[in-house]
Amino acid sequence: MKYFSPLLVFILGWALLLASNSLAFIGLTNGLLQLLLFFLVVCIPTWLTSRMSYVDIAWPWGLVLIGIVTLLLNEGNSARVVAVSVAYIFAGGRMGIGALQMWKAGMLKRELPRYEYQKHRWKTAGKTNVTLIMQVEVILQGLANASFLAMPALIIATNSSSSISFLEVLGLSIWLSAFVLESIADNQKLAFLKAMKKEGKRKQVCNIGLWKYSRHPNYFAEWMVWNGLIIASIPSWLALYENESLLIWLLLGCGLLFASRMMYTTLVYYTGAVPAEYYSVQKRPEYKKYQEVTNRFFPGPKKS
């Protein structure tokens, strides 16, 4: 049971969508397509290679899939649906194209550090059946796309009102700003690495641009991308009150909040900052000092 218990919350999240009067069909369609995508792109390659890094291909393209399903199977206002579908397609497509470039360059022939770090966790937790737990982990990612990460899009797609709420404008503005900041942060780090390679310098710490104010500005911006989508979905969630039982309606609201919490935990502790820094401290002599003066996640001025 200790191997399968992490799946439970995501299975319940998907079951919540299936129990909804408004979201059952689109939730079922998206969920089955997500599981098929992960089975073909991650589960089989992971089984054959004993590497989980293929998640980095399937997860973002799963977001694109959510956007496409939302666009094709919606019952809501077209402008609202197009906006949220484009948000998912753009966010997933940017990361998905980057993942395919990594795969083409042969970077997935070795396990990415964040997934290698998981094996340390499993060993500490006494999970010795690595083959099984890897399959559970990658299925968990697919179930996340089938459940909580799909909720903002699917809920927004039910809203047929032609009037646009302030919260929708605010949420999509936050999404756009965060999407731009994430792209800037990634490009700044890429430019820094290229410059260091050109100068023949190795194991340097990127502390330029946005990286002066956060050790992981790209992760923070990714979290804010999801917070923007969740804020934008609040008016549509409120409108669902008339079509859902009180229990389902309340649980869907909790699901939206859980999506923010889940992404924060993932980006800081699960596959984000903590695993990255575990290896950065070992590889980069100056990284310890960088940790002492720079915030880990939330941007802010340098510490004295």
- Residue by residue, pLDDT tens for the chain (304 residues) are 678 999 999 999 999 999 999 999 999 999 999 999 999 999 999 999 999 999 999 999 999 999 999 999 998 999 999 999 999 999 999 999 999 999 999 999 999 999 999 988 888 888 889 999 999 999 999 999 999 999 999 999 999 999 999 999 999 999 999 999 999 999 999 999 999 999 998 999 999 999 999 999 999 999 999 999 999 999 999 999 999 999 999 999 999 999 999 999 999 999 999 999 999 999 999 999 999 999 999 999 988 7
Asked if 273 and 267 count as a contact pair (C-beta separation under 8 A), the reply is yes
Output the DSSP codes for 259-277: HHHHHHHIIIIISSHHHHH
To the question of pTM greater than 0.85 for the whole model, the response is: yes
Output the DSSP codes for 217-242: HHHHHHHHHHHHHHHHHHHHHHHGGG
Whole-angstrom Cα distance, residue 45 to residue 8?
A: 24
Whole-angstrom Cα distance, residue 89 to residue 70?
A: 10
Please give the DSSP secondary-structure letter assigned to residue 106: T
Long-range residue pairs from 258-266, CB within 8 A, at least 24 positions apart, any chain: 258/13, 258/148, 259/148, 259/149, 259/151, 259/152, 259/226, 259/230, 260/223, 260/226, 260/227, 260/230, 262/144, 262/148, 263/222, 263/223, 263/226, 264/223
Question: What is the residue whose two structure tokens read 């073909």?
Answer: 40
**In degrees to the nearest 10, what's the CA dihedral of 195, 275, 222, 26?**
130
Q: What would the two tokens of residue 2 be?
A: 């200790």
194 by Cβ neighbours in 10 Å (0-12 / 13-18 / 19+) ranks as exposed
H or E, element range at 193: helix 166-198
At residue 234, the pLDDT reads: 98
Whole-angstrom Cα distance, residue 19 to residue 23?
A: 8
Please calculate the CA angle 210-211-215 and round it to the nearest 5 degrees. Answer: 130
